[in-house]
Structure 1
Amino acid sequence: MLTVVDTSENPAHYSFIEKKSEFIADACHINSLDEAVEFVESIRQQHPKSRHVCYAAIIGADQAQFQERMSDDGEPSGTAGKPILQVLRQSGTTDTVIAVTRYFGGILLGAGGLVRAYSSAAAGVLKTAHVSEVIAAQQFSCTMDYAQYAVMQRIIAQYHGSIRNESFTEKVAIECAIPVDKSNDFENAVEQTFHATIKPIRTEFGSLMG
């Protein structure tokens, strides 16, 4: 599996004209479907006069874990969001959202023309995007004392993991992702290092960029 690594602040970009309608595609990396919706809304704000902002998004490291979302945003049902989603599926791309903005040019494209246009926009933006391999990951939550935090950071790095979220109150709470094939060793290392004073809690499956 692959993922787009371009960020929401600097997404991959592609555009073309089809029968006087302009199609503008933007794609970026996401860690949740909520992030996809936020990205689409930011694109919508950039194009207040556009007729449609259609999109599709996938997250998950393999087909058994996939979560998907799409929207035709007023285009005829099945002519926009679904073709974009199909391009993501066929390209083996995950943890990615593609938003396609359309400025209507006054000429109706018909259902077939819309499917081809939105498919072309999605495929085009993936060709311009920076991509990376995706690794299946187990996500954990952990709570610790401040004095333990630096050591925990080193253990996460040792097992090629990534910290996703942190909060600092009376204690430090973190959410991290560890490659699935290293998750058992990570748990054992944490419990042995901290003499079972920290218990990593498995939450859900996710992914990491390779």
Structure 2
Amino acid sequence: MNDAYRVPAARATATVVEKKSAFIAALSPAGTEAEALAFLDEIRAAHRTAAHNVYAYALRQNARTRYSDDGEPAKTAGLPVLGVITHAPLVDCIIVVTRYFGGTLLGTGGLVRAYTAAAAAVVAVTHILTYRACRTLALTLPYPLYEPARRLLEAAGARIEEPRFAADVKLNALLPADTADAVAAQLRELLRGGEGLTVSDIHFAPY
């Protein structure tokens, strides 16, 4: 339950050229198999004249992985792309590597290296979010306790949302689950009993 995982925040592309063959890698977030296959269809439609549209994806749900060599020699294309994803490591994403043949055969070793390089190149330019098991602390504070509570949260490394000022101060703070309980105990002491503090169940969030 507490295992962190990494997902791409947005789509990205990168191109590698090997002996005049262009390997165009396209990466997309994909939380489901349907989303992954929809992106694959999109890339295939955009590159109808390409020699190959190799792909691999990894989903967090059921630890699902899949790859296709799309006509390249077995295990020279899709499997190396999947290897880059799992080594990164990333989940909930798909990488499609489109190859435009340049006229020179690369051999099995050359194909493995080229597809690996293309997939690695797109991962290198991808903005990645790390999701961790967290708790959200929701606070309702009298004004005199706002600054002490904020300093306590900042010292703990909490991600603090913009406070809302009215008759009292309301703010939410995100903390890793393994430190949230200790911080909550300090806040209860500050609040002299904990009234005004709500601690959420564990959930995963970028942190």
The TM-score with structure 1 as length reference comes to 0.61
Task: Choose from 111, 114, 122 the match for 2:119.
Answer: 122
Show the counterpart of 1:74: 71
Partner of 1:18: 18
Report the AA paired with residue 26 of structure 1: A
- When Rg is computed on C-alpha atoms for both structures, the one with the higher figure is 2
User: What CA deviation, in whole Å up to 9, does each residue of 1:15-61 have, x standing for no partner?
Assistant: 02100100000101111122111101100111111010001100117
1:111 aligns with 2:115: no
Which residue in the other structure is 2:8 paired with? 4
* Equivalence for 1:49: 49
Deviations 1:129-168 (A, max 9, x none): 111013469xxxxxxxxxxxxxxxxxxxx898xxxxxxxx
Q: 1:98 to 1:118 in 2, by over 3 A?
A: same
Distance between the aligned counterparts of 2:43 and 2:206, measured in 1?
25
Residue 183 of structure 2 corresponds to: none
Determine the C-alpha separation between the residues in 2 that align with 1:66 and 1:103.
31
Distance in 2 separating the partners of 1:27 and 1:12: 5
Correspondence list, 1:121-200, <5 A = 121-135=118-132
- Percent sequence identity is 40
Cα 1:106–1:136 change in 2 (3 A) is: farther
Over 3 Å off, 4+ runs: 206-210
Q: Is the CA contact 2:16–2:117 (under 8 Å) kept in the aligned structure 1?
A: no
Alpha-carbon contact 1:13-1:26 (below 8 Å) kept: yes
Mapped pair 1:93 → 2:86: no
Contact 1:56/1:68, CA 8 A, preserved across alignment: yes
Could you tell me whether the CA contact under 8 Å between 1:33 and 1:69 is conserved in 2?
A: no
Amino acid at match of 2:27: A
The alpha-carbon distance between structure 1 residues 73 and 136, as it changes in their structure 2 partners (threshold 3 A), is farther
| Equivalent AA in structure 2 for residue 101 of structure 1 | T
CA contact (8 A) 1:3 1:209 kept: no
Deviations 1:104-149 (A, max 9, x none): 0111000100000000001000011111013469xxxxxxxxxxxx
Opposite residue 29 of structure 1, the aligned amino acid is: P
Alignment gaps of 5+ in structure 2: 135-171, 178-202
Instruction: Provide the TM-score with structure 2 as the length reference.
Output: 0.62
The answer as to whether partners of 1:3 and 1:132 remain within 8 angstroms in 2 is yes
Give the match for residue 190 of structure 1: none
The CA RMSD over aligned residues, in Å, is 2.4
Counterpart amino acid of residue 66 in structure 1: A
Residue-pair matches, total: 140
What's the CA shift for 1:72? Answer: 0.5
Give, in whole Å, the separation in 2 of the partners of 1:208 and 1:94.
Answer: 14
